[in-house]
Amino acid sequence: MEGMDDELIALLAYLERHPELQEVEGFLDSIIEMAKSAREAMENIGGFGTVVLGLGELSRALKRPAHQIGQAVEVMTSSVKFTDEWDRRARTIKQLRAAGAS
């Protein structure tokens, strides 16, 4: 995820420096929508992780799988921070472009 983050941040930085580029609104909207979807998914996954961890506390047989699922949920949660930054930058670029078009 970090490699993808580096590439996307570089692309967004390029778009910030070149507001004259055309036909980027759809791309920016896709970034914003993806971030929104990631946040919504994490709400559901976080709840699932909590339930699974609780089951792991109740059953020896489920303790290890529940722990592994809990670790996976933590990794996914930390990945959302990347999409939040992409969303912030995409929105900033859209605002700059809109101000420049006025």
pLDDT tens-digit map of 56-86: 888 888 888 888 888 888 888 888 888 999 9
Strand locations in 1-102 (E): none
CB atoms inside a 10 Å sphere around CB 15: 19
- The residues near 43 (Cβ < 8 Å, ≥ 6 apart) are none
Contact 96, 16 (CB under 8 A): yes
**Mean local confidence (pLDDT), 11-18:** 93
According to the model, what pLDDT value does residue 30 have?
96
According to the model, what pLDDT value does residue 76 have?
84
10: burial class by Cβ within 10 Å (0-12, 13-18, 19+)? Answer: exposed
| Single pTM value for the model | 0.75
**Mean local confidence (pLDDT), 31-37:** 94
According to the model, what pLDDT value does residue 37 have?
92
pLDDT over 80 at 6, yes or no: yes
How far is residue 63 from each of residues 48, 50, 51, 54, 56, measured CA to CA in Å? 15, 13, 12, 9, 4
pLDDT over 80 at 3, yes or no: no
According to the model, what pLDDT value does residue 36 have?
93
3-state helix, strand, coil in the chain (%, to 5): 90, 0, 10
Domain boundaries, the chain: 25-101
